[in-house]
Structure 1
Amino acid sequence: MTVGQTVLGAAPPLGVPLLDAHLVVDRGAFRLDLPLTIDPGEVVALLGPNGAGKTTALRTLAGLLPLSAGHLTLAGRDLDHPGRRVWTPTERRPIGVVFQDYLLFPHLSALDNVAFGPRRHGMNRHQARHRAAEWLARMGLTEHVRRKPRQLSGGQAQRVALARALAVAPALLLLDEPLAALDARTRLDTRAQLQQHLAAHAGATLLVTHDPLDALVLADRLVIIEHGHVVQEGSAATITAQPRTDYVARLVGLNLYRGRATGHSILLADGFRLTTGDQHDGEVFVAFPPSAVALHPGQPDGSPRNTWPATIAGIQRHGDNLRIQLTGPIEVAADVTPAAAAQLRLTPGQPVWAAVKAAETRAYPAG
């Protein structure tokens, strides 16, 4: 087998997902109920706040935690199906895993770390090392094959871990926060390299991450879970355009509210009204970016259709701007330049007026 080939077993027919799973896991008061499909060559990012069930899903797929109900079918083969009393242990699953801390064997060289999986799958020492050398060359690590993990940089260790996972030709590749341990500069370079390697992987890939940028850059599709259930799923463009929960809105950097629309007017739950450029009737979400919020020392005149008094609750640096958290009839985030903040002399506890033009808002059905 050459580098880049993937063992798919009895590969599913065209149009049938490579991974077809319904992960149901009961853990005391918590229940994961996650339908999940991934096509060959597709990268899916699983996102959610702490405690949403991401780690439970990962452990279940890897065979470290059994299903309570549902099924897990990979490449046409049932790996876990409680109703049929089917259970496949971790070592017999065609799955590769890259852990957040990589978990490289500290006493083995990079070459032998990567060769470990093929050896476990029945290759002799020479064959396994040859396979490992191929993968390390593909990762640009030929000069580092004899180094131990402690002699590698963070980015190099991440690539060794990825090579180790791919060297067993997995039908499913699991990535658990694969860039979280890297500093900002290394993360940028490694993300670009990882994107190239994932594009060449013929199997299915599940990326578990907290980082929206990792998800947006690396994944073809996003699945977002909260409290063990899917709350939104789709392409990055769809989700960033129309977030449907507060968590998703924060993830993509939008202010989000839910209310009842009558034409261009939206009545929020607390009685506050927003005017939007879109026209709807019924339950809707309305969203706008923090950059659309203008701050004024007094009540503004002129074109903004939405103005209200607010109080500054907090000020944080956000990229080149300052992110201002406001309380009042609605809680809202506003982005202003440092120059504007200095001119307005913004400080926590200060009263201001907020304004958003109707044309800067987006409204869409909540159903």
Structure 2
Amino acid sequence: MTTDVTVHPAERHLTGPLLDARLVVERGTFRLDLPLTINPGEVVALLGPNGAGKSTALRALAGLLSLSAGHLTLAGRELDNPSRRTWTPTEQRRIGVVFQDYLLFPHLSALDNIAFGPRRRGVNRQQARRQAADWLERMGLAEHARRKPRQLSGGQAQRIALARALAVDPALLLLDEPLAALDARTRLDTRAQLQQHLAAHRGATLLVTHDPLDALVLADRLVIIEHGQVVQEGDAATITAQPRTDYVARLVGLNLYRGRASGHTVLLTDTFRLTTAEQHDGDVFVAFPPSAVALHPNHPDGSPRNSWPATITGIQPNGDNLRVQLAGPIDLAADITPLAAAQLHLVPGQRVWAAVKATETRAYPAAPQ
């Protein structure tokens, strides 16, 4: 069944972002300062390490925390602005939320869980249940209308929670780790279904997640925060091509270093240099994937410019390969096949030689520190 897309009257004359906010929240020694805009129909993923401020941002948008400063405007309506003493309670905000654990009402059927939102907004019981039945059909769960949450699978519960959030016609949809509670197989299928439903949602969507794959598949744009501040923002291609912090590099699976370039040479430490394919002068980042690192028992033949002795500090499975952690003049990760690891007899504490071809590196300008 196709989804009819309607435009709320309050949004018809909007020409800018649907969400326009600067979220400033001070809690003890922690300070979140997050400028955030989301356009109609856009999905933005908010990523960051634990303690970065993701949950604080979500709670501020939902009205569970008041701003210390800044502003929050949604669909042309100012919801929170401390300087003007403007504050809008949660229940009066056009926001739908899907929590990590879904938080479905255990005593209500799937149908009545979805109907709950419209009922709270003044829709009569019969009309609310009709809307809920329509959402169940859209989610492919019409036959589960009478089931209680305990009778649903994880993927089904996630779709019911999503339908409940969308049934109130939210201008802003907040997704808090919506796939984290699912097993790997269910997560794969549910992610594809979620992608379809988000594509049909004409409001703004903010996805809070730790999972880079969820962000890359579902989001149009990524906003990455650390210590309450935005450290990088852009589409997936931009972020994965040029990470700018160690967290972002780990997120996209790259080795990342900062150094001082002169032509094709980048000085990373007082004594360690890498040769790169690109020429630069000044502060740069150098990135390369773990798959670009070759390991040798002795100094490699041909004396490649980028080769150095290193010590193995750890070996872990990584998909079909092994991820080898190395310490030396620089710390790095290398991905090798199990066969190569067996041939090299790799064990923690072992000394090896690491080599990276200049053509496998990527160098790009960094802002001066």
- Shorter-chain TM-score: what band? over 0.9
TM-score calculated relative to the size of structure 2: 0.97
Partner of 1:269: 269
- For 1:114-150, what per-residue CA distance to the aligned partner results, in whole angstroms no more than 9, with x for missing partners? 0000000000100000000001110000010100000
- For 1:311-344, what per-residue CA distance to the aligned partner results, in whole angstroms no more than 9, with x for missing partners? 0000000000000000011000000000000000
* Per-residue deviation, 1:271: 3.1
Query: What secondary structure sits across from 1:325 in the alignment?
Result: strand
- For 1:262-296, what per-residue CA distance to the aligned partner results, in whole angstroms no more than 9, with x for missing partners? 00000013531010001000000000000000000
Q: What is the distance in 2 between the residues matched to 1:140 and 1:90? A: 30
Q: Say yes or no: does 1:237 pair with 2:237.
A: yes
Q: What is the distance in 2 between the residues matched to 1:241 and 1:270? A: 27
Quickly say closer, same or farther: Cα 1:218–1:272, change in 2 above 3 A.
same
TM-score calculated relative to the size of structure 1: 0.98
Q: Say yes or no: does 1:254 pair with 2:254.
A: yes
Partner of 2:218: 218
Q: What is the distance in 1 between the residues matched to 2:181 and 2:239? A: 27
The residue type equivalent to 2:249 in the other structure is A
- For 1:5-58, what per-residue CA distance to the aligned partner results, in whole angstroms no more than 9, with x for missing partners? 3536244533x1000000000000000000000000000000000000000000
Partner of 1:131: 131
Mapped contact 1:11–1:76 kept (Cα < 8 A):
no
Q: How does 1:267-346 map to 2 (within 5 A)?
A: 267-302=267-302, 304-346=304-346
**Percent of residue pairs bearing the same amino acid type:** 82
- For 1:72-98, what per-residue CA distance to the aligned partner results, in whole angstroms no more than 9, with x for missing partners? 000000000001110000000000000
- For 1:300-320, what per-residue CA distance to the aligned partner results, in whole angstroms no more than 9, with x for missing partners? 022632000000000000000
Q: Say yes or no: does 1:48 pair with 2:48.
A: yes
Mapped contact 2:14–2:76 kept (Cα < 8 A):
no
Q: How does 1:1-367 map to 2 (within 5 A)?
A: 4-5=5-6, 7=8, 9-11=10-12, 13-14=14-15, 16-302=16-302, 304-367=304-367
* Matched length: 365
Query: What secondary structure sits across from 1:160 in the alignment?
Result: helix
Mapped contact 1:12–1:76 kept (Cα < 8 A):
no
Q: What is the distance in 2 between the residues matched to 1:4 and 1:335? A: 46
Query: What secondary structure sits across from 2:106 in the alignment?
Result: coil
Query: What secondary structure sits across from 2:113 in the alignment?
Result: helix
Query: What secondary structure sits across from 1:189 in the alignment?
Result: helix
Query: What secondary structure sits across from 1:9 in the alignment?
Result: helix
Mapped contact 2:293–2:334 kept (Cα < 8 A):
yes
- For 1:165-207, what per-residue CA distance to the aligned partner results, in whole angstroms no more than 9, with x for missing partners? 0000000000000000000000000000000000000000000
Mapped contact 2:255–2:289 kept (Cα < 8 A):
yes
Q: What is the distance in 2 between the residues matched to 1:322 and 1:68? A: 47
Mapped contact 1:53–1:226 kept (Cα < 8 A):
yes
Mapped contact 1:258–1:269 kept (Cα < 8 A):
no
Q: What is the distance in 2 between the residues matched to 1:7 and 1:176? A: 24
Quickly say closer, same or farther: Cα 1:8–1:333, change in 2 above 3 A.
farther
Mapped contact 1:3–1:135 kept (Cα < 8 A):
no
Gap runs ≥5 in structure 1 = none
Mapped contact 2:20–2:36 kept (Cα < 8 A):
yes
Deviates more, 1:141-150 or 1:299-308: 299-308
